[in-house]
Amino acid sequence: MLDQKLFLDDEGVDRVAKALGDRNMKFDLSPVRELVGRRRKLRSEGDELKNKLNLGSKEIGNLMRDGKKAEAETQKASMKTLSESIAALDAKIREVEGELEGHLLMIPNIPHEDVPVGPDESANVEIKRWGSPPSFDFEAKDHVDVGEKLGILNFERAARITGARFAMLAGQGARLERALASFFLDLHVAEHGYTEIFLPFMANRTSFIGSGNLPKFEDDLFRVEPMGYYMIPTAEVPLTNVYRDEILSEDELPKKFCAYTACFRSEAGAAGKDTRGLIRQHQFQKVELYKYATPETSWAEHESLTRDAERVLEILELPYRKVLLCTGDMGFSSAKTYDLEVWLPGQETYREISSCSNCVDFQARRANLRYRPAARKKGTELVHTLNGSGLAVGRTLVAILENYQRSDGKVNVPEALKDYMKADVIG
């Protein structure tokens, strides 16, 4: 959520309006500015009345001490009326704050100045490429053909069990899924210094508001009745809320977590896209990287988090490219995002396998995530939150089946996974 102070003057409103325009979003900011101004005026009036109440209460004490009981009783009646006025004013403030929050929760984060302005993915900027796409002396197949021929992927049975956009992995396919998750976690804990954390796969509405998924993206979520919980679309949701409404000390930061979870997405806005295979599923597994950092260190932490995700691809020897997303392609809560895209021979293109974002204080303001700077005894500041996939397990499995496929239909196991798989070859 954006700082309400941005809406107190023309300069702040213009800044938000430009950010929305850069994101290809239309949003009438006049109600927000009016509500911010009204809230400020009402609070000022309330402070004035409360000051009068405090002074009047002291005066009653003085009158009683001086034996002026009748005058004290008159003053008490006046203070009662004043208290009622304050209560009515507080109710108005709460009403205005509720209406204001409803608007603010729908406004996305302001892109960082480094983010290129553009309407969609066509304006993204490639930062680097690593590795070379494999050269085959046979026609490369996509992961569906490879996996189904090996008997390790089955979409028909999954659809019978549940429906479209689900998959069943069997034998070495299931083992590869498990091996990848274990490899990711072991690497991030042992070499990158993250603390592994296991989280619920459901979260309440407050948690989803804190992460920025609600109220705007409700149609993309699976709701669980009758509890009113939601299935998480990414571990970013629960990870954002681990320290909700708490105050951390500066010496605790940065906090670095990695979490393996199932993820659930309705893909409401993706009808007809990637209907074949594992690329876009209602359920998939992912290892998420998450950081809580100070404002002074968050940009350096963003670069290192992205580097941690890149390292996974390099160890697995999967060709990829790093892309800086433009304003029209970045996520709602993000101020700056790098996408890592892995090469898929079956599609002859790069596809996203990790998205690494710095949300600065946007989520922290929604979830009330604060820290106390070491130089202060009083006062707090909002933390900065960062997240990224380290990596998406299903898409990494896709990349391995396609990049390591052989002419005989079998698939070589990447060197880093051989101990986990207890095999050199799949098939």
- Contact yes or no for 312/258 (Cβ under 8 A): no
With the C-alpha atoms ordered 345, 346, 350, 356, is the resulting torsion angle positive or negative?
Answer: negative
- Contact yes or no for 1/105 (Cβ under 8 A): yes
> 15, 280, 311, 321: which one is catalytic?
280
Antiparallel, parallel or unpaired: β 195-196 and 255-264? parallel
Residues 204 and 206: their CA atoms lie apart, in Å, by: 6
Angle between helices 172-190 and 298-315 (to 10 degrees): 140
Report CA Rg, the chain. Answer: 27
> 175, 334, 395, 402: which one is catalytic?
395
> 334, 355, 357, 389: which one is catalytic?
355
What is the C-alpha end-to-end distance of the chain, expressed in Å?
50
What tokens were used for 85? 């006025």
Q: How many residues does the chain have?
A: 427
> 97, 218, 352, 381: which one is catalytic?
352
> 265, 298, 354, 366: which one is catalytic?
265
- Contact yes or no for 248/383 (Cβ under 8 A): yes
33 part of the active site: no
121 part of the active site: no
265 part of the active site: yes
395 part of the active site: yes
Catalytic residues, by residue number, are 265, 280, 352, 355, 395
